[in-house]
């Protein structure tokens, strides 16, 4: 985890989060991170979860306009496409901002004026988790992230003796590898998320970071999978990351963008 604070679909963020090279020292440096929040909830028995989710998203948007909040924010509902059932939440909301100033201002407004949002949410949601992450961009996406798209999540763990400096070197090389194979931000985007608050408690099962890859469509996801399996990109990934991290099988979601600048 980054120090002193490391915070953490789709390429989540359309704003630049790119890795920076430190030309003064000759060593690469991490760029600025950006804030992300994730809600995961279950639907209460007997409710039409999708219909209520749409109504609640509309309420949030109307409330945001009234209070001049969440105007520089992207929020998306996420519906499982491929999952092993270990992440069984019915309702997943992911929101992100370009900077911490906008994020903090929106959090203050929601805390002071947002009681009605929680009252309405409690009518159809229960057993909610609310986590905060910091996002660092690996491969920038184009602006299809502002519309409906596909998001893939994978949890990653550092191997013994490895850390952020090793990951950064691999990230830079992998981004170059994808570009060399003709992949661009029109095809996909990728970010890595680190937990700031609200991730599962305890250290035994704590992840190092989440690897998020976004695609403009399921056909783009399938095309990347073909490059991954059949054109050797997985071999390049293993050569770069195999000694640094271990990542679990991906979970793929249809991301429905409900709020955007």
Q: What is the pLDDT of residues 54-63, one digit of tens each?
A: 999 999 999 9
Instruction: Please report which confidence band the pLDDT of residue 7 belongs to, taking 50, 70 and 90 as the band edges.
Output: very low
Q: Count how many domains the chain has.
A: 1
In a domain, 124, yes or no: yes
Domain, as residue range, for 202: 20-259
Has residue 17 got a pLDDT over 80? no
Has residue 51 got a pLDDT over 80? yes
Strand positions, DSSP E, the chain? 20-21, 28-29, 34-43, 73-82, 91-97, 125-139, 149-158, 189-197, 209-215, 245-247, 251-259
Instruction: Please report which confidence band the pLDDT of residue 5 belongs to, taking 50, 70 and 90 as the band edges.
Output: very low
CB-based contacts of 248: which residues, under 8 Å, 6+ apart?
A: 154, 155, 156
Ranges 23-27, 28-32, 183-187, 198-202: which has the least confidence: 23-27
Mean pLDDT of 240-260: 96
* The residue count for the chain: 261
Which CATH number do you get for residue 110?
A: 3.30.70.100
Token digits for 211?
């690897």
Has residue 2 got a pLDDT over 50? no
pLDDT at 84: 77
Has residue 10 got a pLDDT over 60? no
pLDDT at 87: 63
In a domain, 133, yes or no: yes
pLDDT at 208: 94
CA-atom Rg of the chain in angstroms? 18
Tell which residue, 236, 254, 139, has the closest CA to residue 187: 139
Per-residue pLDDT tens over the stretch 73-116: 999 999 999 987 766 579 999 999 999 999 999 999 999 999 99
Has residue 143 got a pLDDT over 70? yes
The predicted model scores a pTM of 0.89
Mean pLDDT of 119-125: 97
What percentage of the chain exceeds 90 in pLDDT? Answer: 82
pLDDT at 204: 72
Asked whether 135 and 6 are in contact (CB, 8 A), the reply is: no
Instruction: Please report which confidence band the pLDDT of residue 202 belongs to, taking 50, 70 and 90 as the band edges.
Output: low
Q: Which residues of 18-36 are buried (b: 16+ CB within 10 A; e: fewer)?
A: ebeeeeeeeebebeebbbb
In a domain, 9, yes or no: no
Distance between CA atoms of residues 166 and 241, nearest Å? 9
Helical axes 218-230 vs 233-241, angle rounded to 10°: 70
In a domain, 179, yes or no: yes
Task: Give me the chain's average pLDDT, please.
Answer: 89
Asked whether 210 and 135 are in contact (CB, 8 A), the reply is: no
pLDDT at 28: 85
Helical axes 164-180 vs 233-241, angle rounded to 10°: 160
């Amino acid at each position: 985890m980054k120090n002193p604070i490391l915070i953490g679909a789709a390429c989540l963020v359309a704003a630049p989060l790119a890795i920076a090279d430190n030309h003064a020292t000759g060593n690469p440096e991490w760029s600025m991170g950006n804030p992300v929040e994730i809600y995961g909830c279950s639907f209460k028995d007997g409710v039409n979860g999708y219909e209520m989710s749409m109504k609640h998203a509309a309420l949030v948007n109307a409330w945001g306009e009234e209070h001049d909040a969440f105007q520089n924010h992207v929020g998306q509902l996420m519906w499982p496409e491929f999952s092993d059932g270990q992440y069984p939440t019915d309702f997943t909301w992911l929101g992100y901002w370009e900077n911490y100033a906008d994020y903090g201002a929106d959090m203050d407004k929601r805390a002071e004026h947002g009681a009605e949002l929680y009252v309405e949410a409690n009518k159809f949601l229960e057993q909610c988790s609310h986590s905060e992450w910091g996002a660092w961009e690996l491969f920038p996406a184009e602006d299809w992230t502002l519309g409906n798209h596909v998001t893939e999540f994978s949890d990653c763990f550092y191997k013994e003796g490895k850390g952020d400096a090793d990951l950064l070197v691999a990230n830079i090389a992998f981004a170059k590898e994808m570009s060399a194979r003709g992949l661009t931000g029109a095809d996909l985007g990728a970010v890595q998320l680190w937990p700031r608050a609200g991730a599962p408690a305890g250290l035994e099962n704590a992840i190092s970071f989440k690897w998020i890859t976004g695609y403009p469509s399921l056909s783009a996801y399938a095309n990347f999978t073909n490059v991954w399996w059949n054109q050797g990109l997985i071999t390049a990934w293993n050569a770069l990351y195999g000694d640094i991290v271990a990542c679990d099988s991906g979970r793929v979601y249809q991301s429905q963008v409900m709020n955007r600048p």
